[in-house]
A and B are shown apart, each in its own frame.
Chain A
Amino acid sequence: MGVGIRTENLRKVYDTAPPMAARAGGFGFSPTRGADKEKGKKKLEVVALDDVSFEIRAGELFGLLGPNGAGKSTTIGILTTRTQPTAGRAFLGDIDIWAEPVKAKHLIGVVPQRPNLDFALTAREILLFHGAYFGQSAKDRERKADELLEKFKLTDRATHMVRTFSGGMMQRVSIARAMMHDPEVLFLDEPSAGLDPQTRLLLWEIIREYHRAGKTIVLTTHYMDEADALCERLAIIDHGKIIAHGTPKELKQSIPGGYLLRLRFNQTPEDLLAALRQLQSVTEVRSVDGAGADLYAGTGGPLIGPIVSAAQSAGVELLDVHIAEPSLETLFLHHTGRSLRD
């Protein structure tokens, strides 16, 4: 039941502009220049993935979490036979994806970041032809298509051309199409980007239901709440590297203290930082750009008084305080020093 995934030292270097899907929806890419730069070559080299190894168990709901341009879509691209790795191997069960891509394609369903629906067809035809590509009999595919149209609340628009659909409807057709051949592994690249809250909940429910049927699901997201609510295990990816992985609970527990207090001062002299480190339940203090500090602690609110006193006795003005409860957001900040939305 279900098929697991394993990657070994995946590396991907783009020497031309990365494809749209990996280009963070067109919002630019964070280029990490390759080693050739030192040799004075002008050739563009974007290291999108750097030595990425991970394992996803059969039947698991796994999340890849990271900011735009982190390498999420490239990872999905490699696992779905669309992006050729520069080095390393990836397996679906026992199948080496890049040695036997056709076998791999039989096992996977893919919901891309940007809809890539067949614009020359109606919603129902898209599902029917997709079923036909995967060798389903006419009877099977008609039954399955009608079932999915019903489930995704598309029955009344089934015979309309998809190019007239709204973004949310296209997304639903994309997911229905990916499920049409009942794949063992379902990949969803940023599935809830641009969806309204109601459709998002419908989507979550559908993902959970598909997962209950014993299927492996891999999704990428940059929404913390989505990763937290849906995924059994997560890998956090940034600049092409996996920086942490585990269950959402494990990951949250790995943050020192749990609470994060983001403080802004007009200046941050060393004695102030030292005084902050002495406060009760504080586990870590990091200076941020000389004008603030990130303070990891076991509590949040009760620390405000002591922080104000420490600031006063150091002759520093406290400008702003933000308290974050233990969350994946604080985890991401802890590992990268950047907010996910940066």
Chain B
Amino acid sequence: MNWKTFFALLARDGHVARRNLVPMLLQNLMQPLMFTFIFGRVMTSSGIMPQSYKNLLLPGIMAISMVMSGVWAVAMPLIAEFQFTREIEDRLLAPIEIGWLAVQKVVTGMTQAIVAGLVVLPAAWLVMGAGVNLDLGHSLELVLIAVLVALFSAAGGLALGCSIGQTQVGLMFSLVVAPMMMFGCAYYPWKALDPFPVLKYAVLINPLVYASEGLRGALVPAAPHIDTMLVIAALAVIDLALLYLGLKRFHKKALS
């Protein structure tokens, strides 16, 4: 393992991310923050939604922001680099094993997901105004879940980025991303699906459910949420599966 090369590749991604920091944050956070404003502020202030909805919504917004940032940070550059520009070859010729190159991409994606989470948490809190009661007493749980969520998003981005073509990005958005967000228990707790028993269990294949419920459990333990231990176990399994799939796809794609 060639750590010098690994860190140089990370430094390159960090350099590019810093250069694009503002557009990148806008791209990933505008939509969740606007959603936060409408549902967390307008709807609650007008009395259409109860004030307590703020507490349910905030962890979900954080989950969506982290997942989208991580997936985008890995998948979009990969799609472009593998296809149109072929610039992935520039990295593939660096003296490091192909697998480690993919791991480096995942680390970059995780970092971006965590940055997005760190930015969106206080931002959403501010946007919602008074009445948010987060419990920051479970910091260890929070950190663990945040890292697992970041890994799932980055590994998912790797698998996705190595699987779809440039022309399918729009399709991916409507067929994968949109349903994932809507059925990801981000805007409502999993318990809210009780009246829909089939749907309630069908959504469990959606990894975002565990991200939302996990963060909900860590930030507002008083709210209904899936048991944190179960969430951690599910996220760990999903992380490993996506990482395995992503690495395999990357290998296949990298060599002709």
Q: Which residues of A contact B (CB under 8 A)?
A: 14, 18-22, 77, 80-84, 101-102, 105-106, 108, 110, 112, 114, 116-121, 125, 129-130, 132-135, 177
How far is it, in angstroms, between the C-alpha of A268 and the C-alpha of B231 when the chains are bound? 84
Contact A20 B86 (CB under 8 A): yes
How far is it, in angstroms, between the C-alpha of A106 and the C-alpha of B94 when the chains are bound? 8
**Contact status of A77 and B256, CB under 8 A, knowing A120-B16, A129-B8:** yes
Contact B2 A102 (CB under 8 A): yes
Contact B89 A116 (CB under 8 A): yes
Residue of A nearest to B92 (CB): A82
**A82's contact among B15, B94, B95, B256, by CB below 8 Å, is which?**
B256
Contact A133 B94 (CB under 8 A): yes
Contact A133 B16 (CB under 8 A): no
How far is it, in angstroms, between the C-alpha of A336 and the C-alpha of B93 when the chains are bound? 35
**Contact status of A102 and B97, CB under 8 A, knowing A83-B255, A135-B5:** yes
Contact B92 A112 (CB under 8 A): no
Contacts of B12 in A (CB 8 A): 118, 121, 129, 132
Contacts of B5 in A (CB 8 A): 133-135
Contacts of A117 in B (CB 8 A): 87, 90
Query: Does B232 have its Cβ within 8 Å of any Cβ on chain A?
Result: no
Given contacts A19-B256, A108-B93, A121-B16, could you give 12 more A-B pairs where the C-beta distance is less than 8 Å?
Answer: A14-B256, A22-B256, A82-B89, A84-B256, A102-B96, A106-B95, A121-B15, A129-B8, A129-B12, A130-B94, A133-B8, A135-B5
How far is it, in angstroms, between the C-alpha of A116 and the C-alpha of B82 when the chains are bound? 10
Contact B95 A112 (CB under 8 A): no
How far is it, in angstroms, between the C-alpha of A133 and the C-alpha of B89 when the chains are bound? 13
Question: Which residue, A22, A105, A114, A120, has most C-beta atoms of chain B within 10 A?
Answer: A120
Contact B256 A83 (CB under 8 A): yes
**B93's contact among A83, A105, A129, by CB below 8 Å, is which?**
A105
Contact B86 A21 (CB under 8 A): yes
Contact B15 A134 (CB under 8 A): no
Q: Which residues of B contact A (CB under 8 A)?
A: 2, 4-5, 8-9, 11-12, 15-16, 19-20, 85-97, 255-256
Contacts of A134 in B (CB 8 A): 5, 94-95
Residue of A nearest to B98 (CB): A101
Contacts of A121 in B (CB 8 A): 12, 15-16
Residue of B nearest to A177 (CB): B90
How far is it, in angstroms, between the C-alpha of A322 and the C-alpha of B89 when the chains are bound? 44
**Contact status of A118 and B93, CB under 8 A, knowing A19-B256, A84-B255, A134-B5:** no
Contacts of B92 in A (CB 8 A): 81-82
How far is it, in angstroms, between the C-alpha of A117 and the C-alpha of B88 when the chains are bound? 9
16 A–B pairs (Cβ distance < 8 Å), ordered by A: A18-B256, A81-B93, A84-B255, A101-B97, A114-B86, A116-B86, A116-B87, A119-B85, A120-B16, A129-B15, A130-B90, A130-B94, A133-B95, A134-B5, A135-B5, A135-B8
**A116's contact among B11, B90, B255, by CB below 8 Å, is which?**
B90
Contacts of A102 in B (CB 8 A): 2, 95-97
Contacts of A110 in B (CB 8 A): 89, 93
Contacts of A106 in B (CB 8 A): 95
Closest chain A CB from B254 CB (angstroms)? 8
How far is it, in angstroms, between the C-alpha of A77 and the C-alpha of B254 when the chains are bound? 12
Contact B8 A80 (CB under 8 A): no
Contacts of B95 in A (CB 8 A): 102, 105-106, 133-135
How far is it, in angstroms, between the C-alpha of A177 and the C-alpha of B91 when the chains are bound? 12
Contact B11 A129 (CB under 8 A): yes
Contact A118 B90 (CB under 8 A): yes
How far is it, in angstroms, between the C-alpha of A154 and the C-alpha of B93 when the chains are bound? 23
Residue of A nearest to B20 (CB): A120
Residue of B nearest to A84 (CB): B255
How far is it, in angstroms, between the C-alpha of A52 and the C-alpha of B97 when the chains are bound? 27
Closest chain B CB from A185 CB (angstroms)? 12
Residue of A nearest to B3 (CB): A135
Question: Which residue, B19, B92, B94, has most C-beta atoms of chain A within 10 A?
Answer: B94
How far is it, in angstroms, between the C-alpha of A129 and the C-alpha of B93 when the chains are bound? 13
Closest chain A CB from B251 CB (angstroms)? 10
Contacts of A77 in B (CB 8 A): 256
Q: Which 5 residue pairs are nearest across A and B when measured between Cβ atoms? A: A132-B8, A133-B94, A19-B256, A105-B95, A120-B16
How far is it, in angstroms, between the C-alpha of A105 and the C-alpha of B16 when the chains are bound? 24
Contacts of A120 in B (CB 8 A): 16, 19-20
Closest chain B CB from A233 CB (angstroms)? 25
**Contact status of A82 and B255, CB under 8 A, knowing A118-B87, A118-B90, A133-B5:** yes
Contacts of B11 in A (CB 8 A): 129, 132
Closest chain A CB from B89 CB (angstroms)? 4
Contact B86 A112 (CB under 8 A): yes
Closest chain A CB from B20 CB (angstroms)? 8
How far is it, in angstroms, between the C-alpha of A19 and the C-alpha of B15 when the chains are bound? 30
Residue of B nearest to A126 (CB): B90
How far is it, in angstroms, between the C-alpha of A118 and the C-alpha of B91 when the chains are bound? 9
